[in-house]
């Protein structure tokens, strides 16, 4: 990913591109109000999420110079309330031998007033390799900062010689935390593996330990008992309400009728009872657009998760209409996590209640650039439906008993344009669906069923005359719009 930027003044180069395209992006009807977007170009994974000296910091995989990705930078934005984001200059680029093809994903650790950022330096060697075993070098690097914006020199912490021999070079996305005087780093990995004579790699995670953040040694591997995808990206390991949660993105899981419908998956396993991860795997989000989430604990002790509202390698099947206006992708609304009924529930952070909301009359409305919130309660045994868009082009959310279906078909039964040619996703709740909350911020809809038991995220692209909401069959329904 990404070419080495030789120009020393890379920050100015990015700034110039952001300024050059500012008006074009500002006038794009698909820009959002409360979601993190690339100032220009492409964005993917959230990185280095943290609250530092009271301010929320979000970094992200950023390609300002190409709307179709390619990487090259860590973008940066800050916020006081997780909803209003101020964009800062990018903080990292590909300026070392070890990260010359990509400053890949990573995480933040805050200690004694200093921010430490751990990330993967990626190198793709020129030449003809099969790109699984060879042709790639992955290193884990560290920078530190006193203000979240200006970074120290880079230090290489781990390189190819430090990984177990049976791993391929696909080792990345360090998430680091401190526990009882030791530091731990979890990395996503692809283990060289065979099914008889046939090559079939195994996705797994490696946990390293350190006493000083500089020297690291392998502590243990987290391996599935049965093959569970060929590669795990963006792992995260944390405690939540007394349970041990492993979050990871397995690539290569077979699609099932109501599960694993996207190209790559992203979910969590509860490891508390010592089960191997695949036994308890649950997808984080059952919508069309979700991948590579990262969690962090804020200064109030909340566990907050933010995902990328996109999926890698789907450019051909999933066209984001914002591309024509010079940008692509966004992050989700931050979600607060809790364990309830043996599963992780995800709710939009309570800061959304501090926005100034105005109630609409009735269950039919038009919307423009405001954020919209639809709150419904269902009536037992009666199906309910929320339509966002017109009959020709739009998203239908159909809820009945324990089943929620999100559909992008038009009247003729063809996938409608706003779904990028995609059609249907289905979710199930443990018991009846009682209520649903839908947040719409211009070109994204996020659906939280039963207070966060099932979540579905999807991008929607509606032209002005198509921006309609229709709700049917609910016991109660309130539609709210922000006033700002």
Q: Does 145 bind ligand FRU (CB under 6 A)?
A: no
Query: Measured between alpha carbons, how far is 475 from 369 in angstroms, rounded to an integer?
Result: 28
**Residue 32 or 292 having the CB closest to ligand FRU:** 292
255, two tokens: 């699609």
**CA dihedral (78, 67, 289, 418) positive or negative:** positive
What is the smallest separation between the CB atom of 285 and ligand FRU, expressed in angstroms? 14
Please state whether 362 falls in left (phi above 0), alpha (psi between -120 and 50) or beta: left
What is the smallest separation between the CB atom of 278 and ligand FRU, expressed in angstroms? 19
**Residue 44 or 107 having the CB closest to ligand FRU:** 44
Q: Does 234 bind ligand FRU (CB under 6 A)?
A: yes
What is the smallest separation between the CB atom of 50 and ligand FRU, expressed in angstroms? 18
- Choosing from 21, 51, 57, 61, the residue that interacts with ligand FRU (CB under 6 A) is 61
Residues in the chain, how many?
A: 484
Residue with tokens 């916020």: 79
**Residue 37 or 399 having the CB closest to ligand FRU:** 37
**Residue 235 or 452 having the CB closest to ligand FRU:** 235
Nearest to 288 by CA among 412, 420, 417, 400: 420
478, two tokens: 């309130």
Q: Which of residues 306-335 bind ligand FRU (CB under 6 A)?
A: 312
Query: Measured between alpha carbons, how far is 24 from 453 in angstroms, rounded to an integer?
Result: 39
Is 45 marked active-site? yes
What is the smallest separation between the CB atom of 280 and ligand FRU, expressed in angstroms? 22
Binding mask 35-54 for ligand FRU (x = CB under 6 A): ---------xx---------
23, 45, 112, 193: the catalytic one is: 45
What is the smallest separation between the CB atom of 6 and ligand FRU, expressed in angstroms? 21
Q: Where is 12: in which H helix or E strand?
A: helix 10-20
Number of residues that bind ligand FRU (CB under 6 A): 15
**Residue 231 or 462 having the CB closest to ligand FRU:** 231
Say if residues 116 and 108 touch (Cβ distance below 8 Å): yes
Beta strand 73-79 with 55-63 is antiparallel
Residue 27's contacts (CB-CB under 8 Å, 6 or more residues apart) are 325
What is the smallest separation between the CB atom of 414 and ligand FRU, expressed in angstroms? 30
Q: Which of residues 94-113 bind ligand FRU (CB under 6 A)?
A: 104-105
- Choosing from 292, 330, 404, 455, the residue that interacts with ligand FRU (CB under 6 A) is 292
What is the smallest separation between the CB atom of 100 and ligand FRU, expressed in angstroms? 14
- Choosing from 98, 99, 233, 236, the residue that interacts with ligand FRU (CB under 6 A) is 233
Q: Which of residues 461-480 bind ligand FRU (CB under 6 A)?
A: none
**Residue 266 or 407 having the CB closest to ligand FRU:** 266
Q: In what order do the strands lie in the sheet with 155-158?
A: 102-111, 114-124, 136-145, 155-158
What is the smallest separation between the CB atom of 197 and ligand FRU, expressed in angstroms? 29
Residue 182's contacts (CB-CB under 8 Å, 6 or more residues apart) are 209, 210, 211
Say if residues 296 and 49 touch (Cβ distance below 8 Å): yes
Q: Which of residues 162-201 bind ligand FRU (CB under 6 A)?
A: 172-173
- Choosing from 71, 174, 224, 277, the residue that interacts with ligand FRU (CB under 6 A) is 71
**Residue 167 or 399 having the CB closest to ligand FRU:** 167
Contacts by 130-135, CB closer than 8 A, 24 or more apart: 132/168, 132/170, 132/190, 132/201, 133/168, 133/169, 133/192, 134/169, 135/169
Q: Does 120 bind ligand FRU (CB under 6 A)?
A: yes
86, two tokens: 């101020």
Nearest to 115 by CA among 79, 74, 148, 89: 148
Mapped onto helix, strand or coil, the DSSP state of residue 197 is coil
Q: Does 293 bind ligand FRU (CB under 6 A)?
A: no
Mapped onto helix, strand or coil, the DSSP state of residue 201 is coil
**Residue 38 or 394 having the CB closest to ligand FRU:** 38
Residue with tokens 């970074």: 151
What residues line the site for ligand FRU (CB under 6 A)? 1, 44-45, 61, 71, 104-105, 120, 172-173, 233-234, 291-292, 312
* Catalytic machinery residues: 45
């Amino acid at each position: 990913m990404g070419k080495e930027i030789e120009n020393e003044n890379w920050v100015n180069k990015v700034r110039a591109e952001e300024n050059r395209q500012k008006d074009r992006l500002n006038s794009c009807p698909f820009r959002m109000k409360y979601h993190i977007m690339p100032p220009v170009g492409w964005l993917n994974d959230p990185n280095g999420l943290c609250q530092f000296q009271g301010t929320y910091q979000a970094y992200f995989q950023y390609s300002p110079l190409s709307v179709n990705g390619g990487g090259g930078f860590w973008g940066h934005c800050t916020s006081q309330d997780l909803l209003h984001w101020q964009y800062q200059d990018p903080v990292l680029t590909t300026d070392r031998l070890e990260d010359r093809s990509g400053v890949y994903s990573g995480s933040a650790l805050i200690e004694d007033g200093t921010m430490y950022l751990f990330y993967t330096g990626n190198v793709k060697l020129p030449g003809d390799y099969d790109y699984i075993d060879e042709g790639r070098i992955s290193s884990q690097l560290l920078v530190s900062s006193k203000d979240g914006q200006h970074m120290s020199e880079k230090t290489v912490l781990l390189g190819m010689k430090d990984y177990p021999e049976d791993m391929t070079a696909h080792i990345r996305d360090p998430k680091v935390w401190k526990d009882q005087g030791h530091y731990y780093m979890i990395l996503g990995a692809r283990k060289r593996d065979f099914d008889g004579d046939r090559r079939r790699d195994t996705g797994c995670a490696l946990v390293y330990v350190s006493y000083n953040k500089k020297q690291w040694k392998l502590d243990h591997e987290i391996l599935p008992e049965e093959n569970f995808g060929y590669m795990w990206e963006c792992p995260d390991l944390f405690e939540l309400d007394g349970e041990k949660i492993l979050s990871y993105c397995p690539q290569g899981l077979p699609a099932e009728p109501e599960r694993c419908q996207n190209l790559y998956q992203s979910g969590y396993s509860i490891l508390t009872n010592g089960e191997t991860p695949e036994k308890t795997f649950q997808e984080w989000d059952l919508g069309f657009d979700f991948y590579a989430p990262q969690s962090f604990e804020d200064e109030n002790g909340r566990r907050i998760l933010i995902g990328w509202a996109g999926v890698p390698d789907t450019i051909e099947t999933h066209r984001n209409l914002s591309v024509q206006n010079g940008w692509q992708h966004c992050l989700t609304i931050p979600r607060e996590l809790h364990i309830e009924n043996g599963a992780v529930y995800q709710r939009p952070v309570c800061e959304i209640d501090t926005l100034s909301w105005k109630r609409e009359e009735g269950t039919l409305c038009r919307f423009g650039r405001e954020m919209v919130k639809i709150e419904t309660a269902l009536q037992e045994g009666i199906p309910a439906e929320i339509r966002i868009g017109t009959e020709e082009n739009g998203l239908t959310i159909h809820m009945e008993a324990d089943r929620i279906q999100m559909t992008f078909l038009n009247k003729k039964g063809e996938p409608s344009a706003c779904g990028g040619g995609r059609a249907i996703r289905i979710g199930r709740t443990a018991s009846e669906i009682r209520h649903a909350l839908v947040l719409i911020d211009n070109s994204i809809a996020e659906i939280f069923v039963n207070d966060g038991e099932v979540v579905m995220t999807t991008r929607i692209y509606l032209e002005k005359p198509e921006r309609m909401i229709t709700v049917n069959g609910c016991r109660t329904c309130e539609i709210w719009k922000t006033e700002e």
